[in-house]
Chain A
Amino acid sequence: MLENILHMLNQFFINTGFYLADYRQIIMIFAGCTFIYLGIAKGYEPLLLIPIGFGILVGNIPFFKGFGLGLYEKGSVLNYLYFGVTTGIYPSLVFLGLGAMTDFSSLLARPNLMLLGAAAQMGVFFTLLGALALGFLPKEAASIAIIGGADGPTSIFLTAKLAPHLIGPIAIAAYSYMALIPVIQPPIMRLLTTKKERLIRMSTPRDVSKRERIIFPIVGLLLCCFVAPTALPLLGMLFLGNLLKECGETDRLAETARNAIIDTATIILGLTVGASTQGDVFLTPKSVGIFLLGACAFSIATASGVIFAKIMNLFLKEKINPLLGAAGVSAVPGSAREVHLMGREADPSNFLLMHAMACNSSGVIGSAIAAGILWSFMT
């Protein structure tokens, strides 16, 4: 009997995480804890980093393969939840909520700032070249390039369509760089602008009527999706959310979209993306390449926006503050906040936030279009 008990205890022990753990899972668990720490203690994008960090812990609990527990095992709960990632459902729902939160009036008041959103997408296309040069396959390169848009849901959406095996590293890279905006963007902005340029004040934008705000999502959808129909799953939801917000007749729906829907989608998206980073799948030389290229993509995107703003100033009678170019990436509202803070650092009474939000929201549209373009090139 004692022998039986010892045998059972032995069997139990060899199925525990302590026995099955390998060094890659330990590294990833450490990374997950770092994400949670950064989210809670440092306040870096907590809504994203905490679910992702916890997901990394969940995904790297060692278990005996075949129990139907893992994210990549068919029929497991995590596998069902992950379905929403691989099919692009969660990113679309996040865009619905984002649309219901976004006030496009500053963009409508000053449409030329939309060009800064386009300029920042140069990071995407430069990185496409970089990824191809490093030997990535075209579909993988396109998925890595979209990190330059600085938009987590867009990166996940495109990667799910083109290179699903890279969702983990690409999503983690995209969200990490979004969380690191306060570290990455300020040195680039400081390097590329003079003190005099940072002091430029933007004039007061004109008032935007309710009718303009209602018509914009409809016109935006039609124009953008006629040009790049593959951007429809993201832009369709973004503009629908915005129409629900602006029309004044669907406040309940807008409220649900910007609270319950986006929160639910963010939690499940973060958890499953985090859980997809199982040590044996995630810790590969490709992931290192993706992280390096992601950093370049994000930096080039920031620099392109700032440089383009300076070029625009050569032709504009009324100069724009070139810091706004850095908000052309679609990390809403992190990069707009960073631009605003840097503007205030130069002149505490200069409030750039609403102008930066205009660039930021055009960056969201620009990166969704870029994703659509890359998807159509690859299919």
Chain B
Amino acid sequence: MYGFQAISANNGWSMAIAGASIDFLCLIFLSVVISQLHKLLAFWDSRKKSPEQANADEASVKANVVRKIPTPARFPEDIEEAAQLYEPLLELLDHPFQLVDLYKVARENDYPHPHLTISSFRQAGILSAVEEGLFSWNH
């Protein structure tokens, strides 16, 4: 049996429609939940706290945070601008350096998406391999 007849005889239409719908709904459900996750966490953190306590906690957190490099308020889309933001981090490293060390300092300083950004630097030629496992910064 071939063609539409074979599809109908094997419940193909129902399987395709039901399967696609379930797959879609499952991912929609997951995306809705994860889009609210940070709000739920913020709500959880603020529960049962009086405003004075919350302010005191915030102040103490701020006092305890020791940053070597301030995290940029806005991370740029442009790779050249992103490279400029990474330059202070390089002062903390030996030259040439391993990518894992750059990743570590970026992570410690709360730079967003360090893995992907470093990959982009490599593609853009801003990071280039000088010898096995070691890289130099060309910006």
Number of B residues contacting the other chain (C-beta, 8 Å)? 49
Are A207 and B110 in touch, CB under 8 angstroms? yes
Q: Which residue of B lies closest to A227 (CB)?
A: B26
Are B20 and A122 in touch, CB under 8 angstroms? yes
* 1/0 contact string of A206-227 vs chain B (CB within 8 Å): 1111011001100110011001
A125 at the interface (CB under 8 A from B): yes
A377: which B residues are within 8 A, CB to CB? 15, 18-19
Are A133 and B7 in touch, CB under 8 angstroms? yes
A132: which B residues are within 8 A, CB to CB? 6-7, 10, 12
Contact stretch, chosen from A22-30, A101-109, A275-283: A101-109
Are B6 and A133 in touch, CB under 8 angstroms? yes
Name B77's contact: one of A133, A202, A206, A209 (CB within 8 Å): A202
Are A118 and B12 in touch, CB under 8 angstroms? no
With A114-B27, A204-B77, A349-B79 in contact, is A219–B37 under 8 Å at CB?
A: yes
In the bound complex, how far is the Cα of B24 from the Cα of A342, in angstroms? 27
Can you show 17 pairs from A to B with CB atoms below 8 A apart?
Answer: A103-B116, A105-B112, A106-B113, A111-B34, A115-B24, A128-B15, A129-B7, A129-B13, A129-B16, A133-B2, A133-B7, A138-B10, A208-B112, A212-B34, A215-B37, A219-B30, A369-B23
Are A223 and B30 in touch, CB under 8 angstroms? yes
A259 at the interface (CB under 8 A from B): no
With A215-B37, A227-B26, A366-B27 in contact, is A354–B116 under 8 Å at CB?
A: yes
With A118-B23, A219-B34 in contact, is A128–B12 under 8 Å at CB?
A: yes
In the bound complex, how far is the Cα of B42 from the Cα of A303, in angstroms? 38
Which 7 residue pairs of A and B lie closest in terms of their CB atoms, listed nearest first? A354-B116, A111-B31, A114-B31, A118-B27, A111-B35, A125-B16, A132-B12
Q: Which of B3, B20, B41 has the most CB of A within 10 A?
A: B20
With A115-B28, A220-B30, A373-B19 in contact, is A212–B37 under 8 Å at CB?
A: yes
With A103-B115, A349-B80 in contact, is A219–B23 under 8 Å at CB?
A: no
B91 at the interface (CB under 8 A from A): no
Are A365 and B30 in touch, CB under 8 angstroms? yes
Q: Which residue of B lies closest to A136 (CB)?
A: B6
A228: which B residues are within 8 A, CB to CB? 22, 26
Q: Which residue of B lies closest to A101 (CB)?
A: B115
* 1/0 contact string of A123-138 vs chain B (CB within 8 Å): 0111011001111001
Min CB–CB distance B27 → chain A (angstroms): 4
A362: which B residues are within 8 A, CB to CB? 27, 31
Q: Which residue of A lies closest to B19 (CB)?
A: A373
Q: Which residue of A lies closest to B45 (CB)?
A: A211
A349: which B residues are within 8 A, CB to CB? 78-80
Are B77 and A118 in touch, CB under 8 angstroms? no
Are B23 and A353 in touch, CB under 8 angstroms? no
Min CB–CB distance A171 → chain B (angstroms): 22
Min CB–CB distance B90 → chain A (angstroms): 20
Q: Which residue of B lies closest to A356 (CB)?
A: B116
Q: Which residue of B lies closest to A108 (CB)?
A: B34
Min CB–CB distance A112 → chain B (angstroms): 6
B66: which A residues are within 8 A, CB to CB? none
Are A126 and B10 in touch, CB under 8 angstroms? no
With A111-B32, A129-B16, A216-B37 in contact, is A353–B22 under 8 Å at CB?
A: no
With A224-B26, A374-B19 in contact, is A133–B3 under 8 Å at CB?
A: yes
With A122-B20, A133-B2, A134-B2 in contact, is A204–B26 under 8 Å at CB?
A: no
B38 at the interface (CB under 8 A from A): yes
In the bound complex, how far is the Cα of B63 from the Cα of A184, in angstroms? 54
Are A126 and B16 in touch, CB under 8 angstroms? yes
B117: which A residues are within 8 A, CB to CB? 354
With A125-B19, A223-B29, A365-B30 in contact, is A135–B37 under 8 Å at CB?
A: no
Min CB–CB distance B124 → chain A (angstroms): 8
B29: which A residues are within 8 A, CB to CB? 223, 227
B26: which A residues are within 8 A, CB to CB? 118, 223-224, 227-228, 369
Q: Which residue of B lies closest to A223 (CB)?
A: B30
* 1/0 contact string of B95-139 vs chain A (CB within 8 Å): 000000000000000101101110110010000000000000000
Min CB–CB distance B68 → chain A (angstroms): 18
9 further A-B contacts with Cβ under 8 Å, apart from A133-B3, A365-B27, A374-B19, are A121-B20, A121-B24, A125-B19, A207-B110, A209-B41, A220-B30, A350-B77, A351-B77, A354-B120
B76 at the interface (CB under 8 A from A): yes
A43 at the interface (CB under 8 A from B): no
Name B19's contact: one of A111, A206, A370 (CB within 8 Å): A370
Are B2 and A135 in touch, CB under 8 angstroms? yes
